[in-house]
């Protein structure tokens, strides 16, 4: 057993804000699971989003960390929706090794109307559009991007579709978000929690890996699956289907106990958790570089009370610049 490979009962739990990789060898399954707590409170709390918008962004954060922590190189994983619904954009990005940031853009009047009408399901708030999942390895490298159509589906369903279309790997995804009242010093307080589990069927046998039906790319809506009747994969789906939404977010359950509940009959190997932190990559130098590309007219239009103020949409940090710094060279 390696230093990073441990069986349940032999170690302390990873706790909140750690993505925990796991493997169930008898089922040829590998995956990751996470519970987000304080990290999510920090990200959502600084923006004071309406509750349905916060729930959507929390789901985006879970998907982003589950996929982003799988990167084996320095880079960034970006989750971004562009849709015509009341919430027209969600952005979450994970920068290796552990930094997450996220924000949502929405029409306040349309969101209020949706809340009043009881139309706050993810598919109602998102509407139609696309989800882009991008892997960026930095300068001088080509980005990889997968596109999923969002047309009346949830983010959970969109994540499954991404793996069907882009990687052709049978993948099950479960997400859950809730605002809980938890004990705290001075009395109970509300806290956001979110959790998720991603499990993939990755058999060693070439025959079992063979794709049963390659998507034609011409509007064929048939699912791509690797031997969907494989007993191990069907058992995995049945087991994951027993997960209650509360189990994914309950801090008294935790990620490791959940994995034990699901896979104890087969034996599950759990690896060291990857810590995720609320950390924005914005800086005054980066914003200054963007402003230096503005025309003189754009600089003038950006001045307010004698200064240029720029607020980061992710972390809400405000930066101020002297317009004279960007005066055209004479």
Identify the band that residue 35 occupies on the pLDDT scale cut at 50, 70 and 90.
very high
295 and 155 in a common domain: no
Residue-wise pLDDT tens digits, 43-80? 999 998 999 999 999 999 999 999 999 988 889 999 99
Q: Which of 66, 31, 58, 133 is nearest to 274 (CA)?
A: 66
Q: How far is CA 147 from CA 38, 84, 128, 142, 296, in A?
A: 31, 16, 13, 16, 37
Query: In terms of residue numbers, what domain contains 34?
Result: 16-212+224-278
107 and 121 in a common domain: yes
Q: Is 8 helix (H, G, I), strand (E, B) or coil?
A: coil
178 and 308 in a common domain: no
- CATH number, residue 312: 3.90.1280.10
274 and 128 in a common domain: yes
State the pTM of this model. 0.85
Identify the band that residue 140 occupies on the pLDDT scale cut at 50, 70 and 90.
low
pLDDT at 132 over 90: yes
Does 5 reside within a domain?
A: no
pLDDT computed for residue 103 by the predictor: 96
250 and 120 in a common domain: yes
Question: Is 159 within 8 Å of 178 (Cβ atoms)?
Answer: no
Round to whole Å and give the CA distance between 111 and 125. Answer: 7
Q: Which of 230, 241, 235, 170 is nearest to 199 (CA)?
A: 170
154 and 86 in a common domain: yes
298 and 152 in a common domain: no
Residue-wise pLDDT tens digits, 264-308? 999 999 999 999 999 998 888 888 888 888 888 888 888 888 889
pLDDT computed for residue 328 by the predictor: 56
Does 205 reside within a domain?
A: yes
| Mean pLDDT to the nearest integer, 195-215 | 66
66 and 112 in a common domain: yes
- CATH number, residue 190: 3.55.30.10
pLDDT computed for residue 169 by the predictor: 84
299 and 165 in a common domain: no
Identify the band that residue 188 occupies on the pLDDT scale cut at 50, 70 and 90.
confident
User: Residue 8: exposed, middle, or buried by beta-carbon count in 10 A (0-12, 13-18, 19+)?
Assistant: middle
Q: Which of 280, 278, 294 is nearest to 328 (CA)?
A: 294
265 and 231 in a common domain: yes
180 and 290 in a common domain: no
| Mean pLDDT to the nearest integer, 100-111 | 97
313 and 186 in a common domain: no
Using omega within 30 degrees of 0 as the cis cutoff, is the peptide bond preceding 204 cis? no
Split into its structural domains, the chain has a count of 2
Report the range of poorest mean pLDDT among 2-11, 167-176, 216-225: 216-225
| Mean pLDDT to the nearest integer, 127-137 | 93
CA angle, residues 228, 159, 97, in degrees to nearest 5: 120
- The domain boundary, picked from 244, 261, 278, lies at 278
pLDDT computed for residue 306 by the predictor: 86
Does 2 reside within a domain?
A: no
Does 228 reside within a domain?
A: yes
pLDDT at 85 over 60: yes
């Amino acid at each position: 057993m390696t230093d990073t490979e441990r069986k349940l009962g032999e170690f302390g739990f990873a706790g909140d804000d750690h993505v925990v990789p796991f493997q169930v060898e008898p089922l040829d399954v590998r995956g990751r699971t996470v519970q987000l707590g304080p990290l999510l409170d920090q990200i959502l709390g600084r923006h004071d989003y309406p509750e349905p918008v916060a729930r959507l962004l929390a789901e985006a954060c879970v998907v982003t960390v589950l996929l982003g922590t799988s990167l084996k190189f320095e880079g960034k994983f970006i989750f971004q929706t562009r849709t015509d619904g009341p919430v027209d954009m969600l952005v979450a990005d994970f920068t290796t090794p552990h930094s997450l940031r996220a924000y949502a853009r929405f029409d306040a009047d349309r969101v209020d109307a949706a809340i009043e009408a009881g139309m706050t399901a993810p598919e109602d708030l998102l509407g139609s559009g696309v989800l882009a999942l991008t892997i960026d390895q930095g300068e001088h490298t080509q980005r990889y991007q997968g596109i999923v159509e969002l047309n009346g589906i949830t983010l959970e369903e969109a994540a499954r579709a991404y793996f069907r279309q882009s990687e052709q790997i049978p993948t099950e995804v479960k997400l859950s978000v809730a605002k809980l009242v938890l004990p705290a010093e001075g009395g109970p307080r509300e806290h956001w929690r979110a959790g998720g589990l991603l499990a993939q069927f990755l058999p060693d046998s070439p025959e079992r890996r063979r794709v049963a039906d390659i998507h034609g790319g011409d509007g064929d809506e048939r699912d791509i699956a690797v031997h969907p009747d494989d007993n191990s994969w069907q058992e995995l789906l049945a087991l994951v289907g027993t997960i209650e939404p509360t189990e994914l977010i309950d801090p008294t359950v935790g990620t490791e106990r959940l994995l034990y509940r699901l896979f104890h009959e087969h034996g599950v190997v759990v690896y060291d958790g990857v810590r995720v932190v609320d950390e924005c990559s914005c800086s005054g130098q980066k914003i200054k570089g963007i402003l230096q590309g503005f025309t003189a007219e754009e600089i003038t239009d950006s001045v307010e009370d004698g200064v240029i103020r720029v607020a980061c949409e992710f972390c809400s940090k405000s930066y101020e610049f002297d317009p004279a710094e960007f005066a055209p060279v004479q």
